[in-house]
Amino acid sequence: MTMKKLFTLIIGAVFVLNISAQTFSDNFDSYAVGDYIGVVGTDWTTWSGITGSEEDAQVTDTRASSSPHSIYFQSTTANGGPQDVVLEFGGNEFAVGQFLFESSFFVETDNGAYFNFQANKIIGKEWALDCFMVNDGQIYFTSGDELMFKGTYPVNTWFDLKMDIDLSTNTWNFYIDDVLQGSWSNIVNQIASIDIYPTNPKGMGGNEQCSFYIDNFAYTLTPYTLPTLNGAVVLVDPINALTGMEKDVNVRIRNLGETAITSYDLTVEYNGIQSTESITGVNIASLGYDDFTFPSPITLVTGANNLVVTISNVNGGTDEDANDDAKTVVIDPIVPAPGKVVFGEEATGTWCAWCVRGHVFMEYMAETYPDQWIGVAVHNNDPMTDIEYDAGIDPFISGWPMALVDRNSGGIDPSSFELALLDRISEAPAADISIENIAWDWETREITFDVQATFNADLTGDLRLNAVIVENGVTGTSSGYDQVNAYSGNSNGVMGGYENLPDPVPAADMVYDHVGRAILAGWDGTVNSVPSSVSDAEVVTQSYTYTIPEAYDETEIHIVGLLIDQADGAVLNAGEESIATLVEVEESKFNRSIAIYPSPSNGIVYVRNAENTNITIYNILGGVVAQGDVNGSLVSFNLTREPKGTYIVRITEGNKVQTQKIVISR
């Protein structure tokens, strides 16, 4: 799939300066209908370099902005293509100067369109900008997995799309029919080519139907002349978040002069609060960059407010171009709808080298949005696989890692979790979901509970409740717990620290969170758990029972409740509850004088103050490795022949049962 991104950090190393202006245009009128553009247009090619086949685009006279001809792109597949047409911008990588791109588009009704700017001469290395024109009339620009702009475009009519980009100062302006729609500083401020690829993915809100025409294609590159001394603020990282969150202000400075910059001041102003930092001891070469994070985060307030970052006191004085000294971004944080929780399911596996990306973004979501996000890692073909859950998600994905968000769109990459949450979190939920009446039986390890839905509107249809059992802190000792790692050695960019770990990451160094242990009512939920017609404020409950296996740590178990709409399979809302508090309360009723130590251990495990007690020790797979009745002040168990890893100790005293973890490390 040619759209797969590498998620690398910017920036490319080749910049083009002091070149002559370059221009290119093509209205396709000099070609014959049916010609492949990669064959007759010498500047055009395809992603693979193979022209004149299904990957290429053909000239047509069906529609044209300026008669008689245009080129046509079409796809009806989930992943888009196979057309994939490329045009290089002069065969170089550009990160300074003025770049003007214009083209006429016609996107047919109920269809979408797409193109991207590549950052490097080596195509596929880094995407500078993605433009998604979705069938509902929404247009999205993303860069480095961040949303740069969201707006609308004209459907089923010709319109002119223009990008006027100052690469020197990283100012990207987007126009429709010469009317400015939006401006931003791009995450990846470098261009080398355009890739036109018909896709309309569900992950961006599309319907996988793509049909569009392009006419009057043109670009111009104008060079930039450096002054002697000039420091510029070229990027303030986008802040897309929720009201009340604290966010760091990350800034990128660029030396747009001939003289090296050795010191400067930075000032940030937001919500009436101003802060200035002095940066010294740097040596930013001409056209070089310096990144800075303000030491104090800002707290986001409701409403659209300007955040302004200004550079001053460059090398102890004033630089020669005040026009690029400040960047202003508008921060308009989202106000979450009360009770709304976004539910994500990630298809993953320890065998999947790219799935560490899912680990990183799932953990980021849990830490960043603890009250608005619930995530489940659905494992495939490894020791943590729940067969029913894996089979349920399989028809909705086309590979690993891939994820669903609220099950109301096609598979997306886990890196898009945050965009999906921000797109949904302000929607009022159909019902508030909670977990009620949890009971835990120490002897049988059985939990019973109710999933409760409190409805916020009158609704009709086939709605169903469901429950998912999730465990955090899962470890193992077998090779099946080794995590294959495509990011090892930084070969595919930075990825949450995995770039510093080996391939595979040994089981002893892996802890798996959000593991989907069971989906109690199958993929679709409990039939007839919700009446066909419910009223506002009506409360509906469904009871569930689950026996926690011995190898699972009950203190790490979470119960997730879901409300599912069978009309489209979407999850309307979710709720979550940990049973750790209940377990601790029940455990406190037992004889807490029993001690099992040490942990970590070299293999000799001691039990103290265990009178008339049975001790059973399990490995992480549930196998018994030691067992015995204990009646004494101090006894020991020899596990020196067992492999390193985590073990579960089950302590039974009459009808009282508790468990503890020990680690064999040697």
Which pLDDT score, from 0 to 100, does residue 666 have?
Answer: 67
| pLDDT for the residue 630 | 82
- pLDDT tens readout for residues 374-417: 999 999 999 999 999 999 999 998 889 999 999 986 788 898 89
User: CATH 2.60.40.3080 spans which residues of the chain?
Assistant: 590-664
Give ranges for CATH 2.60.40.10 in the chain: 231-331, 342-584
4 Cβ contact partners less than 8 Å away, ≥ 6 residues apart: none
**Using the 8-state DSSP alphabet, how is residue 227 labeled?**
-
CATH architecture of 231-331: Sandwich (2.60)
Among 303-312, 567-576, 579-588, where is mean pLDDT lowest? 579-588
Position 15 confidence tier, pLDDT thresholds 50, 70, 90: very low
Q: Are strands 179-184 and 171-176 parallel, antiparallel or unpaired?
A: antiparallel
Q: Which helix (H) or strand (E) holds 605?
A: strand 604-618
Q: Is 272 left (phi over 0), alpha (psi -120 to 50) or beta?
A: left
pLDDT digit string (tens) for 454-513?
A: 999 999 999 999 999 999 999 999 999 999 999 999 888 889 999 999 999 999 999 999
For the segment 578-631, what is each residue's pLDDT rounded down to a tens digit? 998 777 655 555 545 577 878 888 888 888 777 778 889 988 777 889 988 887
Task: Please give the pLDDT value at position 621.
Answer: 76
Task: Identify residue 483 by its one-letter amino acid code.
Answer: Q
Rounded CA separation 348/358 (Å): 7
CATH 3.40.980.10 describes domain 342-584: no
184 closest CA partner among 261, 131, 134, 247: 131
Please tell me the predicted confidence (pLDDT) of residue 619: 85
Q: What is the pLDDT of residue 147?
A: 85
Query: What local confidence, expressed as pLDDT, does residue 8 receive?
Result: 27
With 0.75 as the threshold, say if the pTM is over it.
no
How far, in Å, CA of 70 to CA of 65, rounded?
8
List own/partner pairs for 522-527 with CB under 8 A and 24 or more apart: 522/388, 522/392, 522/466, 523/388, 523/389, 523/391, 523/392, 523/393, 524/464, 524/466, 524/564, 524/566, 524/569, 525/464, 525/465, 525/466, 525/562, 525/564, 525/566, 526/464, 526/465, 526/466, 527/464
pLDDT value of position 2: 29
The tens digit of pLDDT for each residue in 179-214 reads: 999 999 999 999 999 999 999 987 788 889 999 999
What percent of the chain is modeled with pLDDT above 90?
75
Residue 283 has pLDDT above 90, yes or no: yes
SS3 call for 356: helix
Mean pLDDT across 337-359:
97
User: What is the pLDDT confidence band of residue 295, given thresholds at 50, 70 and 90?
Assistant: very high
Helix axes 417-424, 356-368, angle to 10 degrees: 40
Placement of tokens 């080996």 in the chain: 502
Instruction: Report the DSSP beta bridge partners of residue 546.
Output: 447
Q: Residue 166 pLDDT more than 70?
A: yes
Domain with CATH 2.60.120.560 in the chain: 22-222
- Whether the Cβ atoms of residue 337 and residue 425 lie closer than 8 Å to each other: yes
Tell me the CATH class for 22-222: mainly beta
Two structure tokens written together for 114: 């797409």
CATH of domain 590-664: 2.60.40.3080
Q: How many residues does the chain have?
A: 666
pLDDT reported for residue 587 = 55
| Dihedral sign for Cα atoms in the order 652, 605, 556, 581 | positive
Angle at 176 between CA 174 and CA 177, to 5 degrees: 135
Residue with the bigger pLDDT between 613 and 229: it is 229
